[in-house]
Structure 1
Amino acid sequence: MAGNKRIAVFGGVAVAAVVLDQVSKAWARTALAGGPAPLVPGVMDLALVMNTGAAFSIGSGSTWVFVILAAAICAACAVWVVHEKAMPAPLAAALGAVAGGGVGNLIDRVIAGQVTDFFATAFIDFPVFNVADIFVTCGVILSLILAWRFDAARDGEGQTREDN
């Protein structure tokens, strides 16, 4: 894929993720300040939780460790997209989701020292999460699948008939 298109896909998804994340968190801090509200009864509630850790509140209070880690991962995604000339658009989009979600939570950590979470599962005991977490999780899963397919396709192109 052409470099400008690949970078535009990455950047567009990343920016969309950051905007959706930050708008939803601003809404949650206002709308849910009075207490939780059901979203889908028995399945998903909206409950405001301020998290100083990572998933499952691991590393609570280690804000700057997560800031450095998130910045490094986002930078690695961007560098990969810029330097991998043959990267397909879906992989660039998935990496944009990872980077955008990472930046969304990074903004919270730098500005407030904690991340705003608000999606709470009602049917299972699971950590409360946010839009950035959804982008990161889906982006990582898709990136792994697409990178595997991309590498397999690239390896297949390098084989000759005698290799098959």
Structure 2
Amino acid sequence: MLVVIAVLAYASDQVSKAIALDRLGDGQSRSLIGDVISLKLIGNPGAALSLGAGNTWVMTIIAAVVLVAIAFVAKGLGSRTWAVALGALLGSALGNLTDRFVRPPGGGQGHVVDFIDYNGWFIGNVADIWIVAAAILIVLLALLGIGVDGRRDHGTRRRDG
């Protein structure tokens, strides 16, 4: 399940970025859902909300650490819902990490392709949507006390949804 979701997240991110690069001019804006969401192509050297824009290498290292951490945690997976959450995180982190290496200026310092403009609040991409979905699932699992192994805090084995 983790691999399937990771592939889906990665593919949807990379395909959507390729379409955006092909169809949108840099900085050009197209309305998608009224004034709420539009399409505007930018290269983001930082993270969400362009945080860390001057520290692209730090963003690259963080993404690589996330990938290694997921691989480590995945060994103890006993929960399908955790597999979905970690798969979404894995695929999206890999999608943005790919941009760091293949987009200008490259070599781990490339700019991530962002194109979904949330009414001027920030501009993101499909990987960001997967990251938010993963974060919501992880918070819910933590609040429910369901560990990566599928066990609840009180120690009984339970396979979740």
Please say whether Structure 1 and Structure 2 have the same fold, judged by a TM-score greater than 0.5: yes
Match status 1:40 vs 2:33 = yes
Q: Secondary structure at the match of 2:116?
A: strand
The separation in 2 between residues aligned to 1:153 and 1:99, in whole angstroms, is: 22
Q: Which letter maps to 2:132? A: T
The two structures have a TM-score, normalised by structure 1, of 0.82
The separation in 2 between residues aligned to 1:71 and 1:63, in whole angstroms, is: 13
Written as runs of structure 1 = structure 2, the 5 A alignment for 1:39-78 is 39-78=32-71
Q: Which letter maps to 1:116? A: V
The structure 2 residue matched to 1:101, chosen from 53, 73, 92, is: 92
The separation in 1 between residues aligned to 2:86 and 2:11, in whole angstroms, is: 16
The separation in 2 between residues aligned to 1:147 and 1:73, in whole angstroms, is: 18
* 1:80 CA displacement: 0.7
The separation in 1 between residues aligned to 2:134 and 2:82, in whole angstroms, is: 9
* 1:61 CA displacement: 3.2
Cα RMSD, aligned residues only: 1.7
Q: Which letter maps to 1:13? A: I
Higher helix fraction: Structure 1 or Structure 2?
1
* 1:41 CA displacement: 1.1
Match status 1:92 vs 2:87 = no
The structure 2 residue matched to 1:138, chosen from 133, 140, 144, is: 133
The separation in 1 between residues aligned to 2:70 and 2:112, in whole angstroms, is: 22
Aligned positions, number: 146
Q: Percent identity?
A: 38
The two structures have a TM-score, normalised by structure 2, of 0.83
The separation in 1 between residues aligned to 2:83 and 2:16, in whole angstroms, is: 24
Greater displacement, 112-121 / 57-66: 57-66
Q: Spell out structure 1 runs of 4+ moving beyond 2 A.
A: 151-158
Equivalent residue for 2:159? Answer: none
